[in-house]
Amino acid sequence: MNPTTSQQDLFRFLEDRFACAQACGECARASALRASLVDPDGTESRDHARRQGIACAEVCDATCRVLSDQNQVDEDVIRAQLEWCRGVCLESAHVFDAHPGAEDSARACRDCARACGAFLATLR
């Protein structure tokens, strides 16, 4: 945010930030749940899905924490975190697509990636 930012821009920034943090939280929960449901002694594909779920949950949780920190105003840090989260979520959705029963997790990942992208657009 720069000194010429209007109050309306600030409200939109905060709303988008909150919506993105909320999507990250939901994606973290869905990915962690997906990871917990996969047998760690399963096939290589299942193990990959489990590891991807864990990674996605961790990245989304970290992104949620960055977005929830009201003192975090460094847009470069926020932008880098959002881009990382968006990429991991899209990759996770792709991995979950290959596993029956993981549709909700894949959807949460795509929703989070969209929210990250929408918030990134407000930062540019």
Q: What is the pLDDT of residues 84-121, one digit of tens each?
A: 999 999 999 999 998 888 899 999 999 999 999 999 99
What is the reported pTM?
A: 0.85
Helices (H), the chain: 7-37, 44-68, 75-97, 103-123
In degrees, rounded to 5, the angle at the alpha carbon of residue 74 between the alpha carbons of residues 72 and 77 is 95
* Rounded Cα–Cα distance for residues 28 and 112 (Å): 9
Q: What is the pLDDT of residues 40-78, one digit of tens each?
A: 666 787 888 888 999 999 999 999 888 888 776 688 888
